[in-house]
Copies of this chain bind each other. A is one copy, B any other.
Amino acid sequence: MLGVIGLGNRLFFVPLIVAFALSGAGHYLHWNMTLQFVISAIAIIFVAGFLGRATESVSHYAGQRLGGFLNATFGNAAELIIAIFLVRDGLFDMVKASLTGAIIGNLLLVLGLSVFVGGLKFKTQRFNADLAGMNGSLMLLAVIALFVPAAFFTTHSINAEGTKTLSLVVAGILIVAYLLWLVFSMITHKDMLSDESERAEEREEESPLWSKKLSIIFLVISTVMVALVSEWLVETLDTFTSQFGLSELFVGAFVIAIVGNAAEHSAAVMLAMKNKIGAAVEIAIGSSLQIALFVAPVLVFISSLFGNTMDIVFTTIEMVAIGVAVFIAKSISQDGRTNWYEGLLLLVVYIILGVSFYLV
């Protein structure tokens, strides 16, 4: 869905290949670091879009349930791959900053822009209030799972070793909770959470772009491309950060997060403009839930495999940012109706956080 709606159709492969090739050339020919960063940042938008489109197409052939699952787990593959490279290099602080950025970017920027732009066109937009309620509770779980270990660690109730054990346990619990959420939302209570009005229309549009075989090949290719460009991008960050005097936190939480989510951004906004605010909300909130309940815990386990367990203790200001984003998004979405001013409120909170992180 992302790919089909978010980006052009035929004219897609040319810029994709050009951007990818330039990014690779920059990396292997040791171009100027800032130039490399800019090219890789642009390239990641295209390869992430390609991955989204391939996932969508494979999902179509896999049938509704498995397809939904694939869509949900592969949706944030780009972020996950970038983060794995950061974890391998032991850059835990930047991992956490980019996870923070991905969560607040989805909850505030993507959701905010969708609601705002959609609200300028339609006075009130509606979506399934049951879904809104469940989403709100899951977001709260995400905040709690980050908040509890940090509280125990900060008050010295648990030492560093205990914190790692606790991080692994909490990570395991969150993955189980997330998988059961897929069972709940795609199997046992599928009908309760769907938007009646949107479903009929959507089905029509969903004719797949590619054949079954081509879709699978493209899924493999696009994943490799995302992995490569991610690695090239990560290697430029150090220089780029020091060049512009930006903090790791700002780069991780805002620059990487905006780049890595570009495909979702455009897709969600375009859905909102077609009055499909339910689907836009699902992309924005669903994506942030995946990051918090699946990507972050998986990274804890992956770091453990690399022999250096990353704990789940975020800094106070990261937790403040996530907590603040969850509370305002929950407050705004809980009645299943949105208007332009609610979108503006989300954007306002995003700007306040952005300026704060910039000034660090």
Contact = CB atoms under 8 A, between A and B. Distances in A.
A140 B349 CA distance: 10
A85 B104 CA distance: 39
A170 interface: yes
A162 interface: yes
Given A124-B192, A147-B324, A355-B166, A344 B177 contact: yes
Nearest to A162: B359
Contacts of A134: 341-342
Contact of A157 (B317, B334, B348): B317
Interface string A322-360: 001001101110110101111011001101110110011
The dominant DSSP class at the A interface is helix
Count class of interface residues, chain A: 35 or more
Interface in A127-181: 130, 133-134, 136-138, 140-141, 144-145, 147-149, 151-152, 154-155, 157-158, 162, 165-166, 169-170, 173, 177, 180-181
28 contacts: A123-B188, A133-B331, A136-B331, A137-B345, A140-B331, A141-B349, A144-B328, A144-B352, A145-B352, A147-B324, A148-B320, A148-B356, A152-B317, A154-B316, A155-B316, A155-B317, A157-B317, A162-B359, A166-B355, A166-B356, A169-B355, A170-B352, A170-B355, A173-B348, A177-B345, A184-B340, A188-B340, A330-B331
